[in-house]
Every structure is written in structure tokens, then in C-alpha cells.
A = this chain, B = another copy of it.
Amino acid sequence: MVKYKTTMSPDRLSLTFSALADPTRRAILARLTNGARSVTELAEPHDMSMPAISKHLRVLERSGLIERSREAQWRPCRIKAAPLKEAVDWMEQYRRHWEQSLDRLEEYLKVLQSGKPKAKGKTNERKK
């Protein structure tokens, strides 16, 4: 039996979401909607060293959200939003949950199912 597990799973969705979980990286993506940009250009608005930006770009690249090419001594980045589609598709499955009316209905069904939710307890033992 293993004592300490760590291993962050590198599935596509996790990579995409964790790439998006940083405001600097989201700002970079936003900037790239106006077209390809060099690393220096991308770094300029951020109070941060070049290597820091370089690391953010590597994260974005590994998640597939940007693509880097080569043009003389510049490494222009361009956005590749495809992984966002995957992410949005996944989230769509919860749309009904964030749409008010349905939430209310569900609330009601839950009350019906659980019977005397305040009094008897054990409300959450039903499986599936």
C-alpha cells in the first residue's frame, strides 16, 4: 500500500481548466484575440519577468490553448481555442442547474424524495 500519492492527472479537461485558472494566462489569451503576438509584446502589460511569462506560455501551449511558431528571433504565439470548446461542452451538462426555474423544481423534488427532511434525518442514505 502506497503511503503518499500526489500525481496530478494530466487529462485534457484538467489541463485546460488549470491553464485557465490563472488571471495572467487569461489576460494573455484575451490579448491574442487581436492576432499573433511576440513574447515581449505579451509580457509588456504584466509586471513580471520574461521567464515568468515564458512559463505561462509553456502552460498555455501544453494545454493546447496557444501555438508557438518561429519567425526570425521571435516566437509569435497565436490562440488555439479548440480546448475551450471541449470545456464548454462539459460545462453545458450543468446548464439546467444554473438556470433558476429548474433549480427550484429540483429543490421541490428533493423535498418530496427525502420525506420529513427536518425531523427524521437519514435523508442522504438513498443511493443513486
On A, residues with C-beta under 8 Å from B are 8-9, 11, 13-14, 17-18, 20-23, 26, 29-30, 33-38, 41, 71-74, 76, 78-82, 84-85, 87-88, 90-95, 97-98, 106, 109-110, 113, 117, 121-125, 127-128
How many copies of the chain does the oligomer comprise? 2
A72 contacts B122, C-beta separation under 8 Å: yes
Q: List 29 A-B contacts (CB under 8 A).
A: A8-B22, A9-B22, A9-B23, A11-B23, A13-B26, A14-B23, A17-B18, A18-B18, A29-B94, A33-B93, A33-B94, A35-B109, A35-B110, A36-B123, A37-B124, A38-B124, A41-B127, A71-B123, A71-B124, A73-B121, A74-B122, A74-B124, A80-B97, A81-B94, A81-B97, A87-B91, A88-B91, A88-B92, A88-B95
Contacts A98-B82, A121-B71, A128-B34; is A21 near B14 (CB within 8 Å)? yes
A21 contacts B23, C-beta separation under 8 Å: no
Chain B nearest CB: distance from A9 CB in Å?
5
Chain B nearest CB: distance from A16 CB in Å?
8
> What is the CA–CA distance of A6 and B85 in the complex, to the nearest angstrom?
30
A74 contacts B123, C-beta separation under 8 Å: yes
Chain B residue nearest to A34 (CB atoms) is: B128
Closest 10 pairs between A and B when the two form their complex, measured CB to CB? A72-B121, A81-B97, A18-B21, A17-B21, A38-B124, A81-B98, A17-B20, A85-B98, A81-B94, A76-B124
